[in-house]
Amino acid sequence: MQTQKLFEKIQLGNIELENRIIMAPMTRARAGKEMIANDLMAEYYNQRASAGLIITEASAISEEAIGWNEAPGAFTEEQMRGWKKTVDAVHAQNGKIFLQLWHCGRASHSSFHPKSGLSVSASAIAINEEYIHTPTGKQAHEVPRALELDEIKRIVNDYAQAAKRAIETGFDGVEIHGANGYLIDQFSQSTSNIRTDAYGGSIENRSRFLFEIVDAVCKTIDSKKVGIRISPNGIYNGMGSKDFRELFLYVAKNLNQYNLAYLHVMDGLGFGFHDLGEPMTLKEFKNVFKGLVIGNVGYTKESAEDAISNGDADMIAFGRPFISNPDLVERFKNNLELNPEAPMNLWYCPGKEGYTDWQNHQDIVAVS
Ligand SMILES: Cc1cc2nc3c(=O)[nH]c(=O)nc-3n(C[C@H](O)[C@H](O)[C@H](O)COP(=O)(O)O)c2cc1C
């Protein structure tokens, strides 16, 4: 099969991407207890800098936002100095990199943030899943505290300030994490939002939080440096809204008022999906969203090429393939075999193993 589109350059705001193969954001939990992006992480991202764009692993925008052991933060100067090493390491290879901005909301536990106590969410509804990994081991999910109106304003500003820090640190842009059942998704979807104020009820009200964040971030940094990720079909973290199609089409359509870098849609079903209706497709989003669309979940080189050639997406993000193939772009380009997928026990463990020790194709050729 002729692959062409994947390797075409594309203009993303003011930057030009070398190709349309995007590295999906992936939490790898190598930042230590201090949550500071370190040299090992810089090496990991440097190895993958031939991606058209790297979207970093999710990074907490505040202490309250934390919800994953040893994931990096983006709320202190020290954390941003740590991230600078990664930014420089990617730029040294002529790569491009966006920082993913994260607030876990109820997908957290009070032991993550002893100062602020209980996790927060749109409503006091716990995730209906077995347990969460916390600094004190596996724990049952807690019922979060519903946010007060003034706190919502403060969190919106936390996103904007994190975006500002990212740009000051040299990131090419930021991705607002509106997917996978984290705080923004918790507001948008009816399964986790039963508020009766301006942030609950109708689709317009439930997506108000998302739009306030997009608005604040776009007023703080250039909107062409802002992307947003959504997971309309996802079930992760107890998601699924009966009106998911109407909700996410409303979101996509109304994002047109901002001149965003892109809309990143997890359309594929390989990461778990709700069965509340026919899954949403990239085409549906392309029909309403006027900007660039990134598709993701379960794509191969062939299906990615098809999606772009058919006009369903402009770029495709790859997650797991980038874990075990730092040189994924070169492998795709030269029709080389991919390394086997990384076992899950290496996804979040500390150290180099399963992280920076994957062979690239030149090493394989050299030893064979
Ligand atoms: C180890 C791991 C960590 C992930 N962490 C994040 C994350 O921090 N933010 C996010 O939006 N998605 C995260 N995801 C989801 C990926 O971005 C992607 O959607 C998923 O891997 C499906 O794409 P793939 O089929 O190409 O792997 C993660 C996935 C994996 C495997």
CATH number at residue 82: 3.20.20.70
Ligand 1 atom closest to the Cα of residue 296 is 23
* Tens digit of each residue's pLDDT (9 = 90 or more) over 232-243: 999 999 999 999
* Active-site position among 44, 45, 159, 182: 182
At residue 362, the pLDDT reads: 72
For the chain, the average pLDDT equals 96
Cβ(180) to ligand 1 under 6 A? yes
Q: Are 324 and 358 in contact (CB under 8 A)?
A: yes
At residue 114, the pLDDT reads: 86
Q: Are 82 and 34 in contact (CB under 8 A)?
A: no
User: What mean pLDDT comes out for the span 284-293?
Assistant: 98
Question: Which comes out higher in pLDDT, residue 124 or 361?
Answer: 124
Cβ(298) to ligand 1 under 6 A? yes
Give percent above pLDDT 70 in the chain.
98
DSSP state of 344: G
User: What mean pLDDT comes out for the span 262-268?
Assistant: 97
- If you measure from the C-alpha of residue 121 to the centroid of ligand 1, how many angstroms do you get, rounded to a whole number? 22
At residue 130, the pLDDT reads: 86
Q: What CA–CA distance (Å, rounded) separates 174 from 215?
A: 14
Structure tokens belonging to residue 103? 């607030």
Which range marks the domain in which residue 316 is found?
Answer: 5-367
- CA count, 13 A, side-chain hemisphere, 207: 21
Q: What CA–CA distance (Å, rounded) separates 359 from 363?
A: 6
- If you measure from the C-alpha of residue 352 to the centroid of ligand 1, how many angstroms do you get, rounded to a whole number? 19
pLDDT at 368 over 50: no
Q: Tokens 């030893």, residue?
A: 367
Q: For the chain, how many structural domains are there in total? A: 1
DSSP state of 234: B
pLDDT at 96 over 50: yes
**pLDDT band at residue 365 under the 50/70/90 scheme:** low
User: What mean pLDDT comes out for the span 184-198?
Assistant: 98
pLDDT at 301 over 70: yes
* Tens digit of each residue's pLDDT (9 = 90 or more) over 48-71: 999 999 999 999 999 999 999 999
- If you measure from the C-alpha of residue 28 to the centroid of ligand 1, how many angstroms do you get, rounded to a whole number? 10
Residues 6+ apart with CB under 8 A from 113: 63, 64, 66, 119
- Catalytic site includes residue 299: no
Residue 97 has φ and ψ, to the nearest 5°, of -145, 130
Cβ(325) to ligand 1 under 6 A? no
Nearest to 208 by CA among 181, 237, 178, 175: 178
Cβ(107) to ligand 1 under 6 A? no
Cβ(100) to ligand 1 under 6 A? yes
Pairing of strands 145-146, 120-121: parallel
**pLDDT band at residue 269 under the 50/70/90 scheme:** very high
Q: What CA–CA distance (Å, rounded) separates 346 from 120?
A: 30
Q: What CA–CA distance (Å, rounded) separates 59 from 36?
A: 10
Q: What CA–CA distance (Å, rounded) separates 194 from 125?
A: 9
Going by alpha carbons, the residue nearest to atom 22 of ligand 1 is 297
Cβ(181) to ligand 1 under 6 A? no
At residue 367, the pLDDT reads: 47
Give percent above pLDDT 90 in the chain.
93
